[in-house]
Structure 1
Amino acid sequence: MSRPSPEIHPRFATPESLSDWLKPRLPSGSFASWGIEPGTKNVHNLWLEIFEGETSLTDSVRPVRTVNVVSLRVIRANGQVLVESHQELSDGSVRHRCLLLSEKMKPSETPEMAVTRAVREELGSVIRVEVENIGDVVRIVPGSYKRKVDEKNSMSYPGLPARYILHSFEVEVEGLPEDSEFCTEEEEEYEGRGDAGVANRAVSVKRHYWKWVSADSIES
């Protein structure tokens, strides 16, 4: 029986060194589409994820990107669920999502800590309640936590298999817009992360577009 490939947390000095490491390990042509094909990210994004400890890679012929993610089923009184319909990226492209609010976890975070940060970063600008701590308007529904592993090809990095460890919660957030659709702006997605020159070359999200949908239109 073969042993699983060991996970590594490489601290590549530059995105270029990461690029050199990845190219012979990925299918021909797939790496070249990163940041070129609409909706994809580039090697600078992946380097920043590794630098921040949000992503690990397996040291194998074809690496696997492993990410811990919180996924939030934000509900409101009438039973509707909030989804992110699409994103507007810094390169002018649009990435269609139709997904629940999700956020990559930081290395030192518990899932519950990541819930609060995700709401603050993604929705904090439109919450219409004056509070000192965003956690005061976020309520995790008791017993709603679920954990599962989802393995599939990464949409952001074509050709790179991904292993998502999903930490799912159902939450209620006080003060969100009642409008059926609304938008939030990302101030500086990579501000203060890694090297400023690298962050400037990464593909970032400029705007998030949200809508309330019926609960039965969302997978459990």
Structure 2
Amino acid sequence: MFPPPQQPLTNLPSLPDLLLTALSVCFLVSSSKSHIATTRCPFPGRILKIPAMSLSSSSSTSAVPPRRHNFASPQSLSEWLKPRLPSESLASWGVKPGTKNVHNLWLELSQGETSLADSTPPVRTVHVVLVRIKGKDAKFLVESHQELSDGNVRKRGRPLSEKMKPNEDPESAAVRGILEELGSVVAAANAFYSRVEDIVTIHPNSYQMRVEERDSASYPGLPGCYVLHTLHATVQGLPEGDFCTYEVDEYQGDFHHKNVAHKAVSVKKHYWTWFLWV
């Protein structure tokens, strides 16, 4: 006699269900290892000419908190931040030496240089271009410190850096940053040049990108996601020794933003030195 036929196992999951379960487990594991890509540091969409790194393809856009860009005034931004940040952190903005205030953050948001995740605490995401300006003897230009409008001095120790504006590519942001932060010495030394291209040269194939997650030094208590775009450049007419430059007023003629900028902590002078980059 043949054994009785086995009853079908109706309670077992189907193959598609098993695959979905396995993918879910993999996603949870990868999420715990790639926290910067999926939760704290959502990566805003931006077209990159050279994608030097890629984030986890398993991250879902539905996991990215909504972004906040528009606030009617610095006061409305402050009211939105109060329940989302420790009170002592927010109170230190613009008071602790080297920090900025809520007017600075409002200007960044209104210009599209920064976005905030609608979360507690909010996560500030900013794209920054770092320009390694090459000089003689394999030395690069480094900003040693800044003199701020409130009289404080902020240490830097980094290459020229500039927050990128919406839909701005790294090369354009690099040139804009050079003209804004080095313009006071570049213009005098290169008065005979008629084109920016004759003064600033972006080195081809020098682009790199990385993402850092750390608390903001400018806004204590506010977590930050920094998407850093690095380029190498040569600038004609820079002094060979240490020097300082004056910041360009980017809100000149814009009365609404200029009124807010007057209450913000601004950079008055940049101090530069040449550093042997190892």
- Give the TM-score band, short-chain normalised: over 0.9
Q: Which residue number corresponds to residue 231 of structure 2?
A: 169
Picking from 102, 122, 127, the partner of 1:68 is: 127
Q: Which residue number corresponds to residue 194 of structure 2?
A: 132
Q: CA deviation at 1:189?
A: 4.8
Question: Is contact 1:116-1:135 (8 Å) kept?
Answer: no
SS in 1 for 2:173: helix
Residues in 1 aligned to 2:248 and 2:69: alpha-carbon distance in whole angstroms: 29
Residue by residue over 1:52-105, the C-alpha shift from the partner in whole angstroms, topping out at 9 and shown as x without a partner, is 111001010110000111001111131111100000000000001111100001
Choose between structure 1 and 2: higher helix proportion: 2
| Paired residue total | 215
Q: Which residue number corresponds to residue 86 of structure 1?
A: 145
Residue by residue over 1:146-179, the C-alpha shift from the partner in whole angstroms, topping out at 9 and shown as x without a partner, is 0111111101000001111111011111111112
Picking from 258, 265, 270, the partner of 1:203 is: 265
Residues in 1 aligned to 2:98 and 2:115: alpha-carbon distance in whole angstroms: 22
Choose between structure 1 and 2: higher strand proportion: 1
1:187/1:117 Cα in 2 relative to 1: closer, same or farther (>3 Å)? closer
AA partner of residue 113 (structure 1): S
Residue by residue over 1:82-131, the C-alpha shift from the partner in whole angstroms, topping out at 9 and shown as x without a partner, is 10000000000000111110000111311111111111111122121232
Q: Which residue number corresponds to residue 143 of structure 1?
A: 205
Structure 2 residue 164 is the aligned partner of structure 1 residue 105: yes
Question: Is contact 2:94-2:265 (8 Å) kept?
Answer: yes
Higher relative contact order (CA 8 A, sep 6+): 1
1:187/1:124 Cα in 2 relative to 1: closer, same or farther (>3 Å)? closer
Moved over 6 A (4+): none
AA partner of residue 90 (structure 1): S
Q: TM-score, normalised by structure 1?
A: 0.92
Equivalent positions of 1:112-123 (< 5 A) are 112-123=171-182
1:175/1:7 Cα in 2 relative to 1: closer, same or farther (>3 Å)? farther
Q: Which residue number corresponds to residue 69 of structure 2?
A: 10
Residues in 1 aligned to 2:109 and 2:75: alpha-carbon distance in whole angstroms: 14
Equivalent positions of 1:176-215 (< 5 A) are 176-179=238-241, 181-192=242-253, 194-215=256-277
Residues in 1 aligned to 2:122 and 2:253: alpha-carbon distance in whole angstroms: 28
Equivalent positions of 1:26-65 (< 5 A) are 26-65=85-124
Residues in 1 aligned to 2:201 and 2:259: alpha-carbon distance in whole angstroms: 38
Question: Is contact 1:189-1:204 (8 Å) kept?
Answer: no
Residues in 1 aligned to 2:130 and 2:223: alpha-carbon distance in whole angstroms: 20
Residues in 2 aligned to 1:86 and 1:77: alpha-carbon distance in whole angstroms: 22
1:7/1:148 Cα in 2 relative to 1: closer, same or farther (>3 Å)? farther
Question: Is contact 2:93-2:99 (8 Å) kept?
Answer: yes
Identity of aligned residues (%): 56
AA partner of residue 123 (structure 2): V
SS in 1 for 2:63: coil
Question: Is contact 1:9-1:53 (8 Å) kept?
Answer: no
Residues in 1 aligned to 2:64 and 2:85: alpha-carbon distance in whole angstroms: 16
